[in-house]
Structure 1
Amino acid sequence: MKRQRGTGRGRRTAATLYGRAAGRAAGRAAGALAAALCAGLALPGGAWAAGDGGGYGFDGGAQRVKGAVSNLDAERLTAGRTYRDTIKKDGKLYYRVDLDDKQNAYVSVVAVPAKGAKAGYGDGIKVTMLDGSNSQCGYQSTSFSFGDHSRPVVAYADRTIEPDSTSCRQAGTYYALVERESKEGSDGGDWELEIRYLTEPAVAKAGPTALPSTWASGTPQPPAGGPRRRDGGAGLHDAVSLTQGEWRTDIRPGQTVYYRVPVDWGQQLFTTAELGSSPAGDAYVGNALMLSLENPARGHVDQDTMTYSGDPATMSLDPHRPVAYENRFDSSDSTSGMRFAGWYYLSATLSPEMATAYGDKALPLTLKVNVTGQAAPAPAYVGGAGVFSVTEDDRDAAASGQSGPEAEERSGTLRIVGVAGIGAGGVLLLGLGAWWLLARRTR
């Protein structure tokens, strides 16, 4: 009421002050929006932290979880997320997953001992999926198989719904059991775990379960064009993308490098590793290089090692069947692991013993990658296939050599810019509307 008794000049002054205040508020809102936008654009890259000194590069966005010693105390995992935990020697940890009666489910574990930790023969990790009655649905056990030296190892457990089976089909609570398998004399330190839980959509119509009797098992000729430089990532999360070709890097004793290759339905992946010669001598080292293959659910598929005596040495992973849905019904990991399309992971580890024999220097490593066969139609999934598919973006990432976080950042940035654009427009409209209302109230 006091303001109404003022002079016209006073009213104009008040309106001006209100307008300036509104302008300052709009300016602050715009500044906050710009800061939020810049922070949002920086998030994907900032969420990733690679390992240093040849260590494993964990997913920086992984959530900490504490495995339980009793299944009834197990924490619930959410599909599509990555988790971190720690396991002690001879430890057993339970995690809970809630499943429907249609989807297949996968819990993958990367076990990472401390760098330089000693290992006994057969040391490794075992992951088992159990239903509510403690019946085993699926399991996988992976050991170092690398002399007395440890390295990151990967294993997964699955709940696969099989047409002719009645077990592990019901909706309800399931448990992922992670066991550290230790031998006498192995390192007693804790192992870090990177845990990934994924679900695969059901199919609208059941397909064949029998495998074809014949398939192309011959290794193709190496890709032409000569080697191109592409250094690997420090972990599965930041694995560097490859397409068909010959790829060159350097690897130090005790180091593991990670790559990923998109392989579509009906296609086959062939991989050869070549370790270059060393001028430092001709000492014999058994299991000098380990080459490992994991599938899109981060389940172990295959591995092999080669010896080294100072001269160039070559090894190839065994040929695998074309990627097909029915592969999952086979009993061997090397066939059942090729069960879906998506990113397949390659890792190469150079034995720490190479430092004693040839010095702690990097050796040249070449990976020759062949992807053969035409892409076949995907199964009739109910809903999107998610990571169990190969997209044009995936092929672009493979051609350009993007790492996992780089590819996510690219698509995430586009989403953020789109949302921020809409948000900025909304803020401007709200600001103009507030200014207009304030101006009317002061007339």
Structure 2
Amino acid sequence: MRGALATMAAVFAVAALPGQAYAAGAPGSYTFDPDAESAVGADISAEASKLEPGGVYRSAIRSGQKLYYRLDLDAKTNAYVSAVVVPKSGGKVSYGDGITVSIRDSSDDECSSQDAVFGSAQYPRPIAAYASRRIDKDGSCQDAGTYYVLIERETKETSDQGEWDLELRYASEPQLAKPSPEATTAPTAWPSASPPPPAAATDNTRRGGAGYYDATSLETGEWKDRIEPGQTLFYRVPVDWGQQLFATAGLSNSTSEKSAYVSSALAVSLENPALGHVAEVSPTSYSGKPISVPFDPLPPVAYENRYDSSDDVGGMRFAGWYYLSVSLSPEVAKPYGQKPIALTLKISVKGEAEESPYKGDAGIFAVTPGDKDAARQGQSGAQAAEAAGERDTMKLVAAAGIGAGTVLVLWLGAWTLIARRRAAAAPAAPTGGPYPYGGPPQAW
């Protein structure tokens, strides 16, 4: 019983721990996953450190460097490795600066690759890309064995040569319920008409996160926030199989009396559940007046989208959380000051959810009831995980309570039974004399 009671005490102690508040950091800051392990990339493939499925890692890359990381893959699982590159705040980046992420077999044949580069919006901010080894009877890289993730950095001579941080994620795609999909070509047409403007909630303020780890959850609706020059805010939207995502970002007017034209001031990017780049809006200029920029219509989420080579179609291949990052150029501060500017996000998720093609637990490639609750409540990914942990804790509390109660009842029952048996087995007390058991009581 002491073990059960100790378990209950420990559980209650955990349940009493205070929660954390997650909010976007200062301009230029990025929230890394606190559970990320350190992984040092190797210049030589033979010395590459191994990445594990489901792992999150922190690393760094210098200008012009090529880094290898190792994967041990079987012959049946699709593998995805993403890299978020985080340049130092205040540094200079040029058009075309960025990284290329690729997965290669032991003979250095490329399985796939994707770039994360700075285009016309030439200011430092987190950008992401991924690469995959996909099982395909007509593809390459099909054998089990050793593979490598190669990350290559491109930096112009006029750009900041300092080290960039990296956040790496390795995800394995679940096995299909059926041996192979019926269709092996991507759709070529889908609804392109923009939906009616979503209704604004009564309390429609949602404060964006400072990274993919603490991205704030959104559902269909119109949401408001504030963004400072040099800041990047992160949001996430659950999109299930067969559903289509529409998103528009807008800036309000500035209250400053000054008026100036800032080119490529607002950059908005979309990444899929594996943090592969899907699409971006053309970086929009700002002159102190309201602006609004929508994404081009994206296809509904479908497994077959992977058979298209373009990012905006091929990237919509999974159900799960889709991530929006919104960046405001630090140059906006020069004419308009560092004061935050009102930001509006209009989100629409259209269509009925369809059945998952996977068997068993789909992990990050699914939309769960808990995900929908998180989107409804506006929780960050970190807060949703904390809430799920609290629910599990309370289940443990209940189980421990029931267990302790059962142990106590059984112990009392056993004690009572033993006492009765002892009483029944004891000899009858002799009669006569003031001390029937052979003398007066002894002093202890």
TM-score range, shorter chain: 0.7 to 0.9
Residue 331 of structure 1: CA displacement? 0.9
CA distance in 2, matches of 1:182, 1:134: 23
**What one-letter code is carried by the residue in structure 1 that aligns with 2:314?**
S
The partner residue of 2:89 within 115, 120, 133 is 115
Q: Does 1:255 align with 2:231?
A: yes
**SS of aligned partner of 1:286:** strand
Does 1:163 pair with 2:116? no
Matched letter for residue 158 of structure 2: G
Aligned partners of 1:295 and 1:344 also within 8 Å: yes
User: Which of the numbers 23, 32, 43 marks the counterpart of 1:58?
Assistant: 32
Determine which of 97, 105, 111 is the counterpart of 2:79: 105
Displacement of 1:77: 1.3
Which residue of the other structure, out of 346, 370, 384, is the alignment partner of 2:324? 346
1:41·1:416 contact (CA, 8 Å) conserved in 2? no
Separation in structure 2 between the aligned mates of residue 147 and residue 270 of structure 1, nearest angstrom: 23
* Residue among 287, 291, 298 paired with 2:275: 298
Are the counterparts in 2 of residues 249 and 364 from structure 1 also a CA contact under 8 Å? yes
Q: Which residue of 1 aligns with 2:212?
A: 236
Question: 1:221: which partner in 2?
Answer: 196
Q: Given the alignment, which residue of 36, 54, 79 partners 2:53?
A: 79
- Identical aligned residues as a percent: 48
Q: Does structure 1 retain, via aligned residues, the 8 Å contact 2:7–2:400?
A: no
Aligned residue among 335, 338, 343 for 1:360: 338
Q: Which has the higher helix share?
A: 1
How much has 1:257 moved relative to structure 2?
0.6
Superposition map of 1:121-132 within 5 A: 121-132=95-106
The CA deviation string for residues 169-221 of structure 1, in whole angstroms up to 9 with x for no partner, is 11122111112221111112211111111000222221211123421122222
TM-score by length of 2: 0.86
Q: Show the 5 A alignment for 1:374-385.
A: 374-379=352-357, 381-385=358-362
Q: Distance in 1 between matches of 2:15 and 2:117?
A: 41
The offset of 1:295, in angstroms, is 0.2
In structure 2, give the amino acid aligned to 1:73: E
2:186 is matched with which residue? 211
Query: 1:253: how far off?
Result: 0.1
- Amino acid of the structure 1 residue aligned with 2:195: P
Which of these two proteins has the greater Rg computed from alpha carbons?
2
1:94-117 alpha-carbon deviations (Å, 9 max, x no partner): 111222111111101111111121
Give unmatched runs, 5+ long, in structure 1. 1-22
Given the alignment, which residue of 147, 159, 168 partners 1:195?
168
- Tell me by how many angstroms 1:342 deviates: 0.5
The residue aligned with 2:314 is 336
Report whether the alignment pairs 1:267 with 2:243: yes
Contact 2:261–2:285 (8 Å) recurs in 1: yes
Matching residue's letter, 1:190: E
Q: Structure 1 residue 313: deviation in Å?
A: 0.8
2:109 aligned residue: 135
Q: Alpha carbon RMSD of aligned pairs, Å?
A: 2.6
**Superposition deviation, residue 40 in structure 1:** 6.6
- Which of 279, 284, 293 matches 1:315? 293
1:178 alignment partner, one of 144, 151, 169: 151
* 2:13 matched residue in structure 1: 38
Structure 1 residue 414: deviation in Å? 2.1
> Is the 8 Å Cα contact of residues 232 and 328 (structure 2) preserved in structure 1?
yes
